[in-house]
Amino acid sequence: MAEAAPTEASSLVGKLETEVEIKASAGKFHHMFAGRPHHVSKASPDGEAKVAKERIEAVEPEKNLITFRVIEGDLMKEYKSFLLTIQVTPKHGGPGSIVHWHLEYEKISEEVAHPETLLQFCVEVSKEIDEHLLSEE
């Protein structure tokens, strides 16, 4: 019986990641999340209204990395835990950056879908924030 538990749990645990190329600098994009998270909703008005309250778990400015843990909201109806890491790296050999989104989660049951739609939302948010930052220049 004890052997079955890890397999059962592991099917509920998942990771998804995606990368988005942006024109803004890694530092500016990171600062948007780390320094001005309240601007994020303003910069992405098209985002589907999923309410999430998150807590910043880790910030590594030298790596332009930030990790959020979702602590309440719509996502918590379907997931036991949800961790979102955003790391921005300068693009090699040219202007712009790469935004790397990494989602780690545990679903409450098999019926819950993997959050692919959320990954798409991350891509859209990245592009909208990029446009917002470029319009400020």
Q: What does the domain layout of the chain look like in residue ranges?
A: 17-44+51-136
Q: Taking Cα atoms as reference points, which of 97, 87, 101 lies closest to residue 133?
A: 97
For CA atoms 120, 122, 127, 131, give the dihedral sign: positive
pLDDT attached to residue 25: 95
User: CA torsion 137→48→101→17, rounded to 10°?
Assistant: -150
Q: Which two tokens stand for residue 96?
A: 């712009």
Mean pLDDT of the chain: 85
**Which range has the top average pLDDT, 27-36, 85-94, 110-119?**
85-94
Per-residue pLDDT reduced to its tens digit, 2-39: 444 444 556 899 999 999 999 999 999 998 878 766 66
User: Does position 87 have pLDDT exceeding 90, yes or no?
Assistant: yes
Gap between the terminal Cα atoms of the chain: 60
Instruction: Say whether domain 17-44+51-136 belongs to CATH 3.30.530.20.
Output: yes
Alpha-carbon distance of 123 to 120, in angstroms, equals 5
What share of the chain in percent tops pLDDT 90?
Answer: 55
pLDDT attached to residue 37: 63
pTM: 0.82
In single-letter form, the type of residue at position 88 comes to: V
pLDDT attached to residue 2: 46
Question: Residue 50's pLDDT band (boundaries 50, 70, 90)?
Answer: low
